């Protein structure tokens, strides 16, 4: 139950700052924090007795002790998690997202509490270990261009537990506010990106069923299409989140099966959805071995974040395609692909869970730019 040095310093500084704001003094603050953690009585007495009245020293001592102490036998919650959870009650604007991001990233709470925290602060799920996935083709067929040997690729697929930076999770949480699940009736599911206040980008084949669908078929499917924002937690029902239908007329603003995109206009109901954050920041065309991150709704489930630190395997700007080893699954079609600066580089459209392909986002934006606000 240890934090990296940057997160540990942040927690220590936050504890010290909060204790300085207590009229009764810093020792009173730390004593109250320890009592709220529901630790065994001998432990409580020991910790309170160790306080010396110096905000920074008491903060650093408490964090170091709680890391080594581990899980509280009284409530099965890591001691450090209890302290961070209590700190959130007094957290300022700069701390309101970083504290829960630390709790989620370090898994300092039981799963049910982490689920509630992820839902409250809209933090996407990050697997602690890559799952053993059976390759299943989703989206259009494509030819894999990577020339590396199978054994080398296997080493990339089967890496051990992920060690994640909290700053990365903070950026993912911000981007997640503009990502939705796209539900076309009861049969088709995908992912979409809110690129303006009422425009969502997804795949052509998500709305049409496949790339052979006519534009008229997309128009017919539009009334049965629902956009679901805020589906973040694994324990929630399929109806979790805030839903928006498409505009009653001219809902398909633009679409192209060659580029496999559909630009959708939402109904006016989107104005009532809370905590939305559209984004359309474009990154540079990725290069081979660049990182690639995907926010997605695999298998129509809660939002998840897939990472690869050198996942880009092949790029061809002339045809507008990028291929990568970042994992994606059925329901991930239409997901945003990001570079390491969290800028859009591609729209995921096909894969076999281990290998994926996306349409370079600049190719799509060259086409849809006339529909965007200048």
| Helix, coil or strand: residue 139 | coil
Residue 88 — pLDDT band, cuts 50, 70, 90? confident
Kindly report the average pLDDT of the chain as a whole number. Answer: 84
CA–CA separation, 225 and 244 (whole Å): 9
CA distances from 197 to 49, 58, 176 (A): 55, 47, 15
Let me know: does 292 contact 357? Beta carbons within 8 Å.
Answer: no
* Bridge-based pairing state of the strands 336-338 and 321-324: unpaired
Q: Are 125 and 234 in contact (CB under 8 A)?
A: yes
Tell me, rounded to whole angstroms, the distance of Cα 160 from its chain centroid: 20
More confident residue, 23 or 328: 23
Give the single-character DSSP code of 16. H
Q: Cα dist. 341→257, 291, 314, 363 in Å?
A: 29, 10, 20, 20
Could you tell me the pLDDT band of residue 195, with boundaries at 50, 70 and 90? very high
Give how far Cα 143 sits from Cα of 8, 203, 321, 322, Å.
46, 19, 11, 11
Q: Of 77-81, 138-142, 227-231, 342-346, which gets the smallest average pLDDT?
A: 138-142
The two tokens of residue 1 are 């139950």
CB atoms within 10 A of CB 105: 23
Higher pLDDT, 237 or 214: 214
In our burial notation (b when 16+ CB lie closer than 10 A, e otherwise), range 19-30 reads beeeeeebbebb
Percent of the chain with pLDDT over 90: 50
Parallel, antiparallel or unpaired: strands 261-265 and 199-202: antiparallel
| pLDDT surpassing 90 at residue 93 | no
Number of neighbouring beta carbons within 10 Å of residue 16: 19
Tokens read off for 140: 């259009």
Kindly report the length of the chain.
374
Q: What is the pLDDT of residues 200-229, one digit of tens each?
A: 999 999 999 889 999 999 999 999 999 999
List pLDDT tens digits, range 145-159: 765 544 333 433 344
Cα(308)–Cα(294) distance, rounded to whole angstroms? 9
Token output for 247: 């505009």
Residue predicted with more confidence, 236 or 221: 221
pTM over 0.75: no
Instruction: Give the C-alpha separation, 105 to 154, whole Å.
Output: 26
């Amino acid at each position: 139950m240890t934090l990296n040095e940057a997160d540990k310093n942040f927690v220590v500084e936050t504890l010290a700052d909060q204790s300085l704001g207590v009229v009764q003094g810093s020792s009173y603050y730390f004593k109250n924090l320890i009592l709220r953690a529901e630790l065994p009585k001998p432990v409580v007495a020991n910790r309170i007795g160790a306080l010396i009245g110096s905000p920074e020293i008491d903060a650093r001592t408490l964090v170091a002790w709680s890391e080594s102490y581990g899980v509280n036998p009284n409530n099965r919650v890591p001691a450090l998690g209890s302290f961070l959870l209590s700190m959130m009650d007094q957290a300022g604007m700069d701390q309101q997202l970083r504290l829960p991001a630390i709790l989620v990233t370090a898994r300092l709470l039981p799963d049910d509490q982490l689920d509630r925290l992820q839902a409250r602060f809209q933090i996407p799920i990050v697997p602690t270990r890559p799952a053993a996935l059976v390759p299943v083709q989703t989206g259009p067929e494509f030819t894999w261009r990577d020339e590396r040997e199978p054994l080398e690729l296997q080493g990339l697929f089967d890496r051990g537990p992920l060690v994640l930076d909290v700053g990365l999770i903070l950026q993912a949480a911000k981007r997640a506010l503009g990502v939705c699940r796209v539900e076309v009736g009861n049969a088709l599911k995908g992912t979409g990106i809110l690129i303006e206040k009422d425009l969502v980008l997804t795949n052509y084949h998500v709305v049409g069923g496949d790339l052979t669908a006519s534009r008229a078929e997309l128009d017919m499917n539009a009334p049965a299409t629902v956009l679901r924002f805020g589906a973040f937690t694994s324990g929630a029902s399929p109806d979790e989140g805030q839903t928006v239908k498409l505009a009653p007329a001219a809902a398909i603003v633009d679409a192209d099966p060659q580029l496999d995109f559909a630009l959708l206009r939402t109904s006016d109901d989107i104005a009532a959805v809370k905590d939305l954050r559209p984004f359309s920041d474009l990154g540079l065309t990725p290069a081979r071995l660049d990182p690639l991150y995907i926010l997605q709704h695999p298998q129509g489930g809660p939002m998840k974040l897939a990472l690869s630190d050198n996942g880009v395997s092949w790029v061809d700007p002339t045809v507008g395609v990028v291929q990568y080893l970042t994992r994606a699954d059925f329901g991930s079609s239409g997901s945003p692909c990001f570079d390491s600066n969290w800028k859009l580089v591609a729209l995921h459209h096909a894969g076999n869970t281990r290998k994926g392909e996306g349409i370079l986002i600049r190719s799509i934006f060259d086409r849809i730019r006339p529909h965007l606000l200048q």
